[in-house]
Amino acid sequence: MKSRHCHVFLPFLLGFFFAAWMTVFSHANAWASVTLEDEVKVGREFYEKLEKSHALVEDDTANAYISSLGKRILSHSGHPLFEFKFSIIQSSAVNAFATPGGYVYVNQGLISLVDEESQLAGVMAHEIAHVNCRHIADIVDKSQKLTIPTLAAILAGAFLGGDAGAAVASFSVATVTSMSLKYSREHEEEADRVGMGYLVASGYNGQAMMDFLKIMKRYEFYSNSVPSYFLTHPGTDERIRYIDALLHTTYTKKGADDIVGNLKRIQTTLMLDGKTDPAQNLKHFEKLLVDDPKDVDALYGLAVTQDKLGQSRESLDTYQKALRIAPNDVDILRNCGITLFNMGQYGDAAAYLGRAMKLNDRHPDAYLYLGKSLESLGNLPDAIRYYKELVQKKPESPEVYYNLAMAYGKSRQSGDSHYYFGLYFKKKGKTDSALFHFKEAQKYLSGDTARLKEIEKEIDSLGRGEAPKAPSAGKGRGRGDKTP
């Protein structure tokens, strides 16, 4: 789980941020001209670029964890200047950084490296402090080295690739580093001092902040390349000495190493969701189980990996071993249920998924596969109920609308089937097919005033025009439908 890969992804990202920042404030000559609203605008634009580039982890469980951790620290930071957002970057680089406007990012590589939750909390407290102290705005205000063309090249290389990426690759690492957002020692001292206050007030052990820096120092010593966390956080030896002084003089009371909980499961989840070769993951989890055969997280990771490799029977056996140790583990129950569904064992799948739901499993896959299992068993009313609950949780997902349309079609509720097919095709960007199904839904739901208004709004949103012809091919036909 401990990632040992490092690259210069962050300088590219910060190069983008700096370019955006300098574009907005190229005419700003004084600190007073940089407003909080300006910071929010640039931070939001940077976040949207990352989101559009699919650079952020989308796993609900991992994001909920990092947000819970961040919000706990934030609640003990006085009166924050911004509404913060905490995200995970899909990168093995050992890194964390913050942008103005309250956006804090932690790389998968850093999460995989920490030994305790308190160490991760310390990193996040430090980054929150940078934001609250407005250090990046201070750097931009004082900078005289950066040029817009160079920063634009970094932006292009970071997000566009191709020739632009090759051009950026021609820069040396030292050049890229010199253009990135380097905090001064004064900034680092303030972020450590303020961040330590946040960390301890949140109930964590202040020692964790220094422990993580020592881990990074060892990593730096044994690695052939400088860990990327150091690229924007200079003066590690000085920081360790300064934090040590704070611990001996101000923060002498020992706090907790774990409060939110479940760090190891989050590390496992991120490893499984990442781009690591499943065969490599298999060896990793097998090695952990040699050391501790009752390691539930390793058993969970092994079972998921076996399933990915097509070893379904072995996967089920591993899930069962894990459940004998932790019978109420919702992740294991849910994923065991999904494996059973994919094997065509719908009754057993529904049983495991139902147990997970009773234990308050709110993962979208629990709703989806429980609905699928019940639909396969012919229990259409309950399948529809779970699909509709999933719509509330993931309205952006086309698949759930397709499943609803099919289930309503099998129930011979053609109006609802056409309506949800309309939403499905709208999500897929197929306007003609969407309009066709919405207009068909109008015919079947002619007596339902409220639903007709909803359908009218959908048709209006797609633009009126001549009634579209029926789509070709019968994809998505539900029983009772007259059309695809």
Q: How far is CA 425 from CA 333, 368, 399, 403, in A?
A: 33, 19, 10, 12
Say which DSSP state 95 is in: -
Q: Residue 451 burial by CB count (10 A; 0-12/13-18/19+): exposed, middle or buried?
A: middle
What's the angle, vertex CA 195, arms to CA 193 and CA 198, rounded to 5?
A: 115
Cα separation, 322 vs 468, whole angstroms: 54
Cα separation, 482 vs 484, whole angstroms: 7
What six digits make up the tokens of 49? 């670029």
Contacts of 368 (CB under 8 A, 6+ apart): 386, 387, 390, 399, 400, 403
Amino acid, single-letter form, for residue 197 = G
Q: What confidence score (pLDDT) does residue 233 get?
A: 58
Cα separation, 213 vs 11, whole angstroms: 20
Query: Are the beta carbons of 96 and 118 closer than 8 angstroms?
Result: no
Q: How far is CA 44 from CA 67, 276, 317, in A?
A: 17, 30, 46
Domains and CATH numbers, the chain: 9-249 (no CATH), 263-462 (1.25.40.10)
- 105 DSSP β-pair partners: 87, 97
Q: What confidence score (pLDDT) does residue 234 get?
A: 56
What does the pLDDT look like over 279-292, one tens digit per residue?
999 999 999 999 99
Cα separation, 275 vs 67, whole angstroms: 23
What six digits make up the tokens of 62? 């991992």
Helices (H) and strands (E) in the chain, counts: 24, 3
Q: What confidence score (pLDDT) does residue 6 get?
A: 36
Which residues in the chain come in under a pLDDT of 70? 1-34, 139-183, 219-235, 464-484
Q: How far is CA 193 from the centre of its chain?
A: 29
Could you report how far apart the first and last alpha carbons of the chain are, in Å?
47
CB atoms < 10 A from the CB of 199, how many?
Answer: 30
Q: What b-and-e string marks burial along 134-161, b requiring 16 or more CB atoms within 10 Å of the CB?
A: bbbbbbbbeeeebeeebbbbbbbbbbee
Query: Are the beta carbons of 140 and 222 closer than 8 angstroms?
Result: no
Q: What confidence score (pLDDT) does residue 167 get?
A: 35
DSSP-assigned letters across all residues of 410-435: HTT-HHHHHHHHHHHHHHTT-HHHHH
| Confidence (pTM) | 0.77
Q: How far is CA 59 from CA 63, 65, 212, 266, 272, in A?
A: 6, 10, 25, 10, 11
